[in-house]
A and B are shown apart, each in its own frame.
Chain A
Amino acid sequence: MNENNPVVSIQGATKVFNEGGTDRVQAVKDVELEVYPGEFVTLIGPSGCGKSTLLRLIGDLITPTSGGVKVNGKHSKQARIDRDYGMVFQDATLYDWRTVNKNVQLPLEVMGYSHDDREKRAAKMLRLVQLEEFANHYPWQLSGGMQQRVAIARALAFEPAILLMDEPFGALDEMTRERMQLELLNIWGQTSTTVIFVTHSIPEAVFLSSRVVVMSARPGRIHAIIDIDLPRPRGFETREDPRFFERLTEVRECLRAGESGKSHVEGYK
């Protein structure tokens, strides 16, 4: 679908936790996946399917038991050292002792940007997520949705090649969630970042993605990859488009098939 070189290329990645112990878990098995520049790829699946593990493998926060992850042609560890990743978690994970502005500047401080540069970039990012008037507030003074926007601003502040998002809107209410999805697409459109996004919400996956990767559990595997060819820019009307519902159904049935497929491998370790 894309003639460019992949940004992320996962080759036969397998991750086993507690190898040799009685509590051995095969979280991810033989995963092959390529993600291309500017794509928005969502990982979806039942809990325990290893989608978060896969995201952490890409980000080199854990190392695969076998197989490998290449990012921009480099080993994932090198990519982390080159600061190619921006991470957003389910909890905003803002530091209590820093103001919103200082939270956004955290990666910039760590990466040795000059003071002026930091201020400029943080201001730009806060404008992007529409929080410039809250720059000097502390995180706990903001609502959950606003905190998550700060986390996104922080992740984008150093213009990473890839944005890794682990159920970032999972703790938000439905209304806020839909608005945040729209804002995320907006930001994504403006920054040309590649996004890899973990969720367990089918409508969220369909609404956001260019491709949805459906995973099945025990062991975590890729069950199917579904192209979402809905037109962009997407908006509130997208959710009412009949094609949106077609894709929803497709993903849902695929998830169910992955679920029932599990029964064949039950007892197999």
Chain B
Amino acid sequence: MTATETTFNFPHSILSAHRQRFRRLLPAIGLLLLGLLAWEAVVIIFRIEGFLLPKPSVIGATFQDQFLVVLPAGLFTMREAVGGFAIGSVLGIGIALATARWTLISEGVMPFAIAVNSTPIIALAPIMNNWFGITNPFSKMSIVALIVFFPIMINTVRGLRQVDPDALELLRSYATNERTVLLKLRIPNALPYLFSALKIGSTLSVIGAIVSEYFGGTREALGVYISQQAALFHFAEAWSAIMVACFMGITFYLLVLIVERLVMPWHFALRAAEE
């Protein structure tokens, strides 16, 4: 190639990329250690009672102690979250694909979806408990499904419709049918939109499952455990459960992130280049 035209290449060495990423994590790790130390120190120095703010060391010990209770509860709730997430995203994507086909319908449905998306959907939890049974995990799954459904549907419709007009003209100049436009242009274009909704949905689904368990659920559930312990001012126990909840939420988020990378390698590299 001629020398005046520059190209941008992927980082040459994978090793240096890893090292760079590690260096980026350093401030966060340092802050965590510092924060934990400060927390412990403040509780000791100001003699704050355990029911107001437990020490990190106490929470750690309680976590070990309660491990065999908290972990199965976490897995139980995780199943509700993942189940609801799956149902909500399949429905959201499906309906987005169906309505994007007909502009008129999607124009009608969008304001409604946006309105519903601005309501506290969690308020429906007691109704779902009544419909499907308090102890039936599906009552929680349905709430989670509703919570993730709307952002996913709205974002997918946007992604399917907001295509570059030139890219559309290009395909039209090939005299393609709508199906080809959908497959070759609209769907790849919608993927980044979809994944940003899926990422938000992943953490929301864990929280949604836990909060909907507050309105009633089996004793095996993490949300029930948290609200019971918190009501008894057993905050060290509650915090051990919170740690499990955070861990699940973050893990789920990272899983979606990995899938995103696998599905859209181009997008990931593109963003890295823009940074």
Contacts and interface: CB of A to CB of B under 8 A. Distances in A.
Interface string A45-58: 00000000000100
Contact of B273 (A56, A140, A145): A140
A141 B9 contact: yes
Interface string B165-198: 0110111111110001000110010010000000
Contacts of A188: none
B243 interface: no
Contacts of B184: 95, 106, 109-110
Contacts of A89: 166, 169-170
Interface in B236-275: 264, 266-267, 269-270, 273
B4 interface: yes
In this complex, the member of A89, A111, A133 whose beta carbon has the largest number of chain B beta carbons within 10 angstroms is: A89
Contacts, number: 75
Contacts of A137: 7
A234 B266 CA distance: 39
Contacts of B264: 97
Contact of B167 (A85, A93, A134): A93
A164 B2 CA distance: 27
B175 A80 contact: yes
Interface in A174-224: 175-176, 179
Contacts of A110: 171, 174, 176, 180, 184
Nearest to A138: B266
In this complex, the member of A56, A93, A111, A130 whose beta carbon has the largest number of chain B beta carbons within 10 angstroms is: A93
A61 B174 CA distance: 10
Interface string B119-148: 000000000000000000000000000000
Contacts of B170: 87, 89, 93
A157 to B, nearest CB: 11
A81 interface: yes
Contacts of B175: 80-83
Given A141-B7, A143-B5, A143-B7, A61 B173 contact: yes
B173 A87 contact: yes
Interface string A150-167: 000000000000001000
Contacts of A106: 184
A80 B174 CA distance: 7
A162 to B, nearest CB: 10
A140 B270 contact: yes
Contacts of A56: 169
B173 A59 contact: yes
A154 to B, nearest CB: 8
B185 A95 contact: yes
Interface string A234-263: 000000000000000000000000000000
Interface string A116-157: 000000000000001001100110111101100000000000
A96 interface: yes
A30 interface: no
B164 interface: yes
B6 interface: yes
A28 to B, nearest CB: 17
A138 B167 contact: no
B266 A97 contact: yes
B269 A85 contact: no
A107 interface: yes
Interface in A4-57: 56
Given A110-B174, A140-B273, A97 B166 contact: no
Nearest to B181: A110
B166 A134 contact: no
B6 A107 contact: no
Nearest to A85: B173
Contacts of A59: 173
Interface string A72-115: 00000000111101110101010111100000001101110000
Given A81-B175, A93-B164, A87 B9 contact: no
Nearest to B264: A97
Given A87-B173, A138-B269, 13 more contacts: A80-B175, A81-B175, A89-B166, A89-B170, A91-B164, A96-B270, A110-B171, A138-B270, A141-B273, A143-B7, A145-B5, A146-B7, A179-B2
Interface of B: 1-2, 4-9, 164, 166-167, 169-176, 180, 184-185, 188, 191, 264, 266-267, 269-270, 273
11 contacts: A59-B173, A61-B172, A80-B172, A107-B174, A110-B174, A138-B266, A138-B270, A140-B8, A146-B1, A146-B7, A164-B173
Closest 9 CB pairs of A and B: A87-B173, A93-B166, A81-B175, A143-B5, A97-B188, A97-B266, A80-B175, A89-B166, A141-B8
